[in-house]
Amino acid sequence: MEIRKLSLGQMGTNCYILWDENSLEAAVIDPGFEDSRILEIIENNKLKVKYILLTHGHFDHLGGLNQVKAATGAKVLIHKNDADCLIEPKRNLSVLVGMTFKLEPADGLLSESETIHVGKLNIRVIHTPGHSKGGVCFLVEDTLIAGDTLFNTSIGRTDFADGDLSELLGNIQTKIFVLNDNIKVLPGHGENTTIGYEKKHNPFLQGRS
Ligand SMILES: [Zn+2]
Ligand SMILES: [Zn+2]
């Protein structure tokens, strides 16, 4: 598996492009803002982008979606509980920054524990609501793409309308911290980390058993 990370836009949203190096089938995860670097990576590596995967439906993870979709014809997948974020500016929070951000409906909806196939890669969907109702992490090989569920020594905000702090902490505890300590965590904002490091150092999750 190959992965590239790009930090996009003023909010520094991390976009990940991952692919199977044999078939060159690829997925673009959270194309947060339009940025020619996404398309450059796709072109330079001759990638066949099968899916645009969304960790959740907030606008800062969707802004480059139309650009990538138009260039590649990839299918857009989002968890069913965040599906309305694509078509409802209030739900994707773009109204909070004075925009009304509206997209086409998704091409497919994700559910807990589902596996998405990209070449020989198996990408498992782990539903971790708390930052948003349809928030998911994607587990592929030894890598967890965590969206805004878990950050390096932090967690996603839970003060939006569809946030819930105790739900988020519970999901990190029961669905993420049960994974192997060596698993790399690639978050929706900021620096990479690992499960083991966060278990030890994440201040939001200390003293919980
Ligand atoms: Zn978010
Ligand atoms: Zn975000």
Ligand in closest contact with the CA of 30: 2
Tokens of 20: 């199977």
Looking at the CA of 14, name the nearest ligand. Answer: 2
pLDDT digits (tens, 9 = 90+) for 58-98: 999 999 999 999 999 999 999 999 999 999 999 999 999 99
Dump pLDDT digits (tens) for 142-162: 999 999 999 999 999 999 999
Q: How far is the CA of 59 from the centre of ligand 1 (A)?
A: 8
CA 63 / ligand 2 centre spacing (Å): 11
Closest ligand to Cα 187: 2
Residue 110 structure tokens: 């994700």
pLDDT digits (tens, 9 = 90+) for 1-24: 999 999 999 899 999 999 999 999
Task: Tell me which amino acid residue 182 is.
Answer: N
How much is the average pLDDT of 121-136?
Answer: 98
- Across 159-192, b (16+ Cβ under 10 Å) vs e yields eeebbbeebbbebbeebbbebeeebbbbbbbeee
CA 188 to ligand 2 center in whole angstroms: 6
Q: Give 22 Cα–ligand 1 centroid separation in angstroms.
A: 33
Class of domain 2-205 as given by CATH? alpha beta
Please name which ligand lies nearest the alpha carbon of 58.
1
Task: Give residue limits of the domains in the chain.
Answer: 2-205
In total, the chain counts a number of residues equal to 209
Query: Ligand 2 centre and the CA of 23: distance in Å?
Result: 30
Rounded Cα distance between 113 and 188, Å, is 20
Lookup: tokens for 16: 């990940």
Q: Is the pTM of this model over 0.95?
A: yes
